[in-house]
Amino acid sequence: MLLFFFAYQIYCDFSGYSDIAIGSARVLGYDLINNFNQPYLSKSIPDFWRRWHISLSTWFRDYVYIPLGGNRVGKWRWYWNIIIVFLLSGLWHGANWTFVIWGLLHGIYMLGSVWSQKLRSNIIILTGMNRFPKLHSTIQVLITFSLVCSAWVLFRAESLNDAAYIYRSAFSGTRHFLVYFYDIAYLKSIFGQLGVTQNELFIAIISIGILEIVQFIKNQRKLTSWFKLQPVWLRWTAYYLLFGIILFYGSFNSAQEFIYFQF
């Protein structure tokens, strides 16, 4: 569960200040590309990297992957090109083995996606999953999100030893957590030890839900164009509501910076 919240913390952190940059540039008359596109609704790891940090992914594609030959080379050279790109992506985030392994892991994910494509297609046909496209899509999203969250452990950990401890703790405590999942007092004690109150947990879950709803609407239509067509009273109500949320829930005295400022 903590990995779930960290996944959204780093997403909101980076996507949030990317949106600030995009909005500030638009005020000055510049249109910047969208840097995120609902990455946690990706159906595969390749799909995730088409949606996450689009500017960086595009840069690595244009200036590293394509100059190396991309997929226009032999099979094994192509696999090596993929690994090189993701290793460099890890190093770009920092000269730490955790970032290097994080990049390597995503490279392995990409190769696994390529190697298992035929097997997955056969499984889908054998299980009849192709007759339930929505269920199939949901399973794809859940598996992809789980893989991404597993890799975030390396991104968050200070060292490989810390990462190994987190992985061991996650799997060793799974059964214990499931047994007490419906014990509210037990859950409160867990989050209390982490310094998270029940209200903060509730606000976080509601906020994530609102985030996904807004992004869903944004993908269905041009949100800004749609918003301009709404009545004046509705637009100003939304403005004041957002302003109030910032005042009440904003962190103004914290010395904590955006996570991605360090990169």
Residues noted as catalytic:
93
The angle subtended at Cα 230 by Cα 226 and Cα 233, nearest 5°, is 145
Q: Which residues of 4-15 are buried (b: 16+ CB within 10 A; e: fewer)?
A: ebbbbebbbbbb
Q: How far is residue 86's CA from residue 110's CA, in Å, rounded to a whole number? A: 9
CA distances in angstroms from 188 to 183, 207, 259, listed in the order given: 9, 19, 27
| Angle CA 205–21–243, to nearest 5 | 50
Element (H, E) at 249: helix 232-249
In angstroms, the CA 84 to CA 74 distance is: 15
